[in-house]
Structure formats: C-alpha cells, structure tokens
Structure 1
Amino acid sequence: MQLPAFVFATLLVLGITTAQAAGVRNFDIPAGPAGPAIRLLVWTPCAEPPREMDARGATFFAVPACPVTGEKLPLIVMSHGRRGWFGGHHDTAAALADAGFVVAALNHPGDTMRDTSRTDSLSVLVERPTDMSRLIDYMLDGWSDTSRIDPQRIGLYGFSFGGYTGLVVIGGDPDLRKGLPNCETSSLRACKQLESGELPDQPTTHDKRVKAAVIIDPYPVFVFPEENLKAIAVPVQLWSSDPAQNADGLSGCCAAAINQRLPIKPDYHFVDNARHFSFLATCTPKDAREAPAVCTDAPDFDRVDFHRRLHADVVAFFRKHFAESAKP
C-alpha cells in the first residue's frame, strides 16, 4: 500500500516508521449496576501500514477497524490523567499494539477533557479503579475479539491520576480519611470533602488479574503511606518527570516518594528535563499550535526521541514479566 507523500513526511518527523501499525476502534461498555457507560478505544496488532487520522482534533497514525492479527495476545489497559482522555497516550498504545499487544484505553466518567463534572472528587478516586476492572471484564467477556486475548497476561499503564488508579488496582489502599497529612492544604475537591467529614461510599477496587504495571508520575501520592502499599506484589516499572521542570506545582510530579515506599523495588526511571506532560503523546505541528501547554517541553528535550526509548523500555518490561509469570 502506497502512503501519500504528506503522510510519509509526517511519519518521518515523528520518528514513526511504516513498519509500525496498529488497528484502532471505538467501543462502549454499557451502563449497569457497576457504573455508568464508558467509552473506550482499542488498539490491536494490524498487518496494514498506518494512516493519518483525526481523533477529536489530535492526529493519530493507525488503521481504523483493521482486522486483529495474532492469537493469545497480552492485554494492556490504560488509565489517563485528570481531565485527560483515552487518546492521550495514543503513540504509546500504537507502539504496544505494533509489538503484539492489545491495548484498551477508556474515558473515566466525570473526569475527562470534555466532562470535568467530578474531577478531583472523592467519588472519582474511589471509582477510577472500578472503571479499570470493568474495562478488563469487558475485554475478556464482551469485546468482539475476546478469544484472541490471553487472560493470564494482563498489564496496566497509568499516568498521573491514572498512576494513582494503577497503584490501587494492583493492591494499594489509599488513605481516604479526615486529617490526612498534606490533604488539609491541598486544592483537591476530595480533600475538602474528607475534611468536611464525607467518607467514601464504597471500598476501592483491587484486581489480581493485572500481572504487571507501568506507573508514571502518580498523583496524589500523599494518600499512600508506606504501609498502605505493602500488599503490592506485582512488578512495577515506575517513571518520574523532573521536579526542576515542574516548578509550577503541576499535579503529577513526581514519582520519587512512591519509589521509596513500594515493598518490591520497582524498575525506576528518572527522566532528566522531562515535564509532566512529556509523557503524553508526541505532537504534530498542528497539535503544538492547538495545545501548546501539553506539547511544549523543556529546552533541548526531544519528546520524539524520548518516546522511542520509553516505548522500547515499556515493551521490554511487559514482555519480561509476562514471560516470567508464565513459568511453572
């Protein structure tokens, strides 16, 4: 298949080769007793070369509705940051799909770029992990190609509030109570609710089906004292942006505190000069014009080159630990 010249040129600018390909398609988890309807995107291994496509104003390189290739494929579920969306890490999802993974990313109800009605609220902190379990349920039981997934190889990728979400899913117990240190001075709506005496209306959800997790700049970290992370037993690859590049107090920076508290030493990566948003998808010139706050990195920081290394390390991490978990 011949790629149009302008698409090929853009692929070169972004450092993407025509060997990278991922199918992508929207799905919906219906509303039910467990929660509201959830919109998701699923990336899958694809035998066709990528095409430029527009997704809510962002530029993706993928193949819409491409037939899934492969059997017994590992599954990675993705959790976005506060006020994020399921396409925020589309280049990482595509790289994983090209490496043979199925990747499912959702929009957390009430905490997305288009629906901020419950952003920072106590209900979101409680329900985000449940969203991820519902996503796994759907991919294993309701997705059209569920027979292609290996249910013994499920991983999680979480960024910022998604990092918090991932820590809970793999066994962390957030300390959600009145008088929590650092909460009194936080601007989080959840902290104000806790200080007023409101309590979670249900426990947070753990999911033992997740066998490995990539956690990036988890936030908030003050809800995880060391003793509340002791139950985490799965391998973790932990990434941190550079505090020197997040002097504006941007939520999500950084991961050093969690690195020190995890009971099993994680595969820890500190990224010099990385800003919090440097982990979001690489930007085309159009993206940079329309979302400069998200696309602007520190001087001399090359997001495209960094994402090549990020993707290689993430793929290698999941492959290694899925192989180890499969050993008798």
Structure 2
Amino acid sequence: MRKAFWSAIAVLFCLASPVNAAGIQLINYGPNLTGAIWYPCEGKPKDVELGELGVGVDYGLVGVKDCPVTGTKLPLVIVSHGYVGWFGGHHDTAAALADAGFVVAAINHPGDNANDSSRKDDLSSFLSRPTDMVRLLDFVLQEWKDGAVIDPAKIGLFGFSKGGYTGLALIGAAPDFGRYARGCTDASKLCEQLRSGDIPAVAQDARIRAAVIADPIPGFFTQSNLAAIRIPVQFWRAEIGIGIIDPEGTARVARALPGKPEVHSVPAGHFAFVAPCSPELKAVLPRICTDKPAEFDRLAFHREFNGSVARFFHEHLTEGN
C-alpha cells in the first residue's frame, strides 16, 4: 500500500507546476562551507536573493527564505554538484524533495565551483570533494540551527557528474586512480599528478543509507571497487556523451553496480540532469542550457526525474522506518 502511495506521489510530481514552495536558508559558514538548505515549510514562494553567494546570473532560484521548518524526524539528502558547478545547480530537484518532506543541503565544492575554479583540474579536488560532503553532513546534523528536525538514521545523497564520482566514492567505491592514469593520453596536470605516485584514500561515510547518482565520471570505477557499495542506488545515465563521461563508460558502471540498482537511461545529453535554465542563464551559458537532441524537453523530463528521485528516497529512507 505504501509503495502504491509513493508511486501516486511520483505521478503528481510529473503533473505539478515547476514552481515550488520549499523553505530555503543560505549557508555561509566560513570560507569553505557556502551553499543552501531546502526544507518543508508553509509560505508563498518568490525569487530568492543570493547576495554574496550568487554567481552573477539569474538561475531562477525560488522558495520561501528563512521560513520556519515544518515537521520533525525528517530525512536528509546532501547534494554534490558537477565540475565547476554550484550549490543551486539542482535547485528544482532540491525544492521538489523539500516539498515531499525532505531536508536537502548543498554546498559549493571549494576550488571547483562557478565562483572559484582554481582547483577544478587538480587532483586535490578529487581527494577533497568527499571530505567536503562529510563536513556538510556534520554541519547540518551538529551545527545547523534547525538540525534537531532531522532523523540522523535517514540520510541520502544526490551526486551529478563529478558529484557522481564524489557520491560513489563516499558510499564505498574507493576510486581506482591507477586505472584512470593508465587511460590518460595527454600531459594534463591531473594526468601528471596521477602518475606521480602514492595517492591517499578518499573519505567515506557510512551514515549515508541511499544514493542517487547521475551521469558520473566513469573512469575511476570497476566491478571490483563498486562491489564495496552496500546501500541502494538509483543510477541515471545520459545516452549522449560529453568528453570523459561517455555512454559506454556509464553503462559499464551501471552493469557493475552490486545488488539490484535502479537504472535509468535518458535519451539526451549530460546536462539534462541540471535544473531547467532561466532565459538569462540560457543566453549566458548555452552549452549547459541547450539540450541534445533539440526536441528534448528538459522541463517535462525534470517533472518525471524529480518524482522518481523523491519516490526512491522515500522507499529507502522512510518506508518501514
């Protein structure tokens, strides 16, 4: 009965307006923890002013800023953005989850975001990203002023692109840096660093109980290291590749995931998983906002995508708990 109920919720998501009424608080906790927290609340949505946390363009962030949190013992989902992305890159998915009863927290990865890309191609960003998410989880559970509303036994993760790499590493798949190095065919800084010698292990976090991974960088993962994953995974992949994120590689990762992952293939390009663009953003960043094929409807897809993500997390974080 509960599964049928959440299947119906997913259908309602597909039919819903793209404008959500989620509460939102901005995080600015020191230089290395900036982002936002979405959560259930009651109020009338409007444009959210980002102030110094903005990225110089209208991303269409909508919500009810700083309104009181509604609910108790809420599940939490932490979000890891892609290469040179930002904490609001999946704001519609975050708002949809908040409207469905989740708290959602996302930060800018230091040195690899739209405001600061100083370490975007450096090995250090691959090593620090999982640690960033551990710090975010610690902050929300221990220091966020409304952290008492969260059930610490109900933690999920959403990761896209390089954030998908981050998520897979964080939930147990220790990246195979040697494999990636063997595939390097150029003299890039990252390839040189990977060939240079010992690389420390990246952080993992057993508090995460379910993960949604969208179009990750596949070159670091094999059947052997993916076998260490012990939690439910919903895996999304684009059928049109982009650089090092190729459809053959993501299909290989999907086949190698242990257990019974929920796998979805989308007949579009990599950026289909990013929130639908505002007109201003589309003019400034057409590469991210222009879909392939041209007839692909990102807005319609996200209604289905957001519903599926919410249903998956409800099934694995709240049902029976």
With the length of structure 2 as denominator, give the TM-score of the two structures: 0.87
**Bigger relative contact order, structure 1 or 2, given CA contacts below 8 A and separation 6+?**
2
User: 1:321 and 1:188, CA in 2 relative to 1: closer, same or farther beyond 3 A?
Assistant: farther
Q: Give the AA of the match of 2:107.
A: L
2:289 to 287, 295, 308: 295
- For residue 271 of structure 1, the aligned residue among 253, 266, 269 is 266
Q: Distance in 2 between matches of 1:172 and 1:29?
A: 29
Residue identity matched to 1:260: R
2-structure distance, mates of 1:101, 1:291: 30
Q: Secondary structure at the match of 1:227?
A: helix
- Distance in 1, Cα, partners of 2:228 & 2:144: 30
Contact 1:180/1:223 (<8 A) preserved: no
Aligned residue runs from structure 1 range 240-319, under 5 A:
240-243=237-240, 246=241, 249-254=242-247, 255-272=250-267, 274-297=268-291, 298-319=293-314
Supply the RMSD in Å over aligned alpha carbons.
2.0
Is the Cα contact below 8 Å between 1:218 and 1:253 reproduced in 2?
no
For residues 171-210 of structure 1, give each alpha carbon's deviation from its aligned partner in whole angstroms, at most 9, with x where no partner exists: 001112388431x226763322112x1432x321110100
Query: Cα 1:144–1:230, aligned 2, differ >3 Å: closer, same or farther?
Result: same
More helix by share: 2
Specify the SS of the correspondent of 2:154: strand
Q: Which residue of 1 aligns with 2:40?
A: 45
Change (3 A) 1:189 1:81: farther
1:23-67 residue CA offsets vs partner (Å, 9 max, x unmatched): 11211344xxxxx62212111111112112354322111111111
Cα deviation, residue 111, structure 1: 0.5
Per-residue CA distance 1:285-325 (angstroms, 9 max, x = gap): 22222221111112211111000000010000000011357
CA distance in 1, matches of 2:141, 2:318: 20
Q: State the match for 2:11 in structure 1.
A: none
User: Is the Cα contact below 8 Å between 2:179 and 2:220 reproduced in 1?
Assistant: no
Amino acid corresponding to residue 82 of structure 1 in structure 2 = Y
Give the match for residue 26 of structure 1: 26
Which residues of 2 match residues 126-141 of structure 1 at below 5 A? 126-141=127-142
User: Which consecutive unaligned segments of at least 5 residues does structure 2 have?
Assistant: 1-14
Change (3 A) 1:187 1:152: farther
Q: Which residue of 2 aligns with 1:239?
A: 236
**Residues 64, 179 of structure 1: CA spacing in aligned structure 2 closer, same or farther, 3 A cutoff?**
closer
**1: CA distance between counterparts of 2:186 and 2:213?**
22
Distance between the aligned counterparts of 2:264 and 2:165, measured in 1? 17
TM-score (norm 1): 0.86
For the 8 Å contact 1:177–1:199, the answer to whether it is kept is: no
Instruction: Tell me if the contact between 2:171 and 2:208 (Cα under 8 Å) persists in the aligned partners.
Output: yes
**In structure 2, the residue corresponding to 1:281 is in which secondary structure?**
coil
Aligned residues: 298
Structure 1: segments with no counterpart, 5+ residues: 1-13, 31-35
Q: Match for residue 9 of structure 1?
A: none
Change (3 A) 1:95 1:115: same
SS of the aligned residue for 1:77 comes to: strand
Q: What is residue 90 of structure 2 aligned with on the other side?
A: 89
Aligned to 1:168, the other structure's residue is in SS state helix
Deviations 1:250-270 (A, max 9, x none): 343442121011122310000
Matched letter for residue 28 of structure 2: D
**Does the CA-based 8 Å contact 2:75-2:155 persist in structure 1?**
yes
2-structure distance, mates of 1:252, 1:90: 23
Q: In structure 2, what is the equivalent of residue 106 of structure 1?
A: 107
